[in-house]
Amino acid sequence: PMPSCAVSGDRNTIRNCLLAHASGAGLTVIGDDNLVENCIIRDSCWSGSLKYGALRLSGDRNTARRNTLYNAGNAILHFAGKDNRIEYNHVHNGGRLCRDVSLVYTQLPRCSGSVIRYNWVHGCQTEGFRGKGRGGMGIRGDDQTRGLIVHHNVVWDCGIHGIVVKGDGNRVVN
């Protein structure tokens, strides 16, 4: 699978775009100090691989703001890097082809200083891990997450957990 769009570099702005029907990632942004704003990214990741989110950010100080992201096989918004901002997004209906999944996903100490705030996140219902029980999560800071701040999000209809953060030095409030 291929992303429908990929941007590599620093200080880029992707604004007011519609990206749809990508077998891989909808939009992949690699680099620092990039902004993805007011975009609609939908119907992506037909394989269910975590590698292909609707929006994937890799780098430091990137911002995803006021986007509508929906209908994906795995995590919808996946980011890695320090001091990223994920804010004012509407993220829904993901995890359609997998079981151990969240709609907004990050992991490891490399996400330190990142903030997930003021998002609406919903509609992650799966069969659960190993096909047993209800699954799906809204926002997830996975294994060894450090220094992640999650606040003022509204999360609903996500099967097992709304927000899960693993690791040390994280803050989840309001």
Q: Among positive and negative, which fits the CA dihedral 76, 74, 141, 30?
A: negative
Percentage of the chain exceeding pLDDT 90: 66
Q: Which of 116, 122, 101, 120 is nearest to 51 (CA)?
A: 101
Task: Assign 2 a pLDDT band (cuts: 50, 70, 90).
Answer: low
pLDDT, position 160 = 82
- In whole angstroms, how far apart are CA 53 and each of 79, 85, 110? 9, 17, 18
Please state the rounded mean pLDDT for residues 16-45: 93
Alpha carbons 86 and 69: distance in angstroms, whole number = 12
Sheet holding 154-156, edge to edge: 18-22, 40-44, 68-72, 90-92, 120-122, 154-156
- Provide the token pair at 100: 């151990």
Task: Assign 156 a pLDDT band (cuts: 50, 70, 90).
Answer: very high
- Provide the token pair at 41: 């990214």
pTM above 0.95, yes or no: no
Which residue, chain included where needed, has tokens 């800071």? Answer: 141
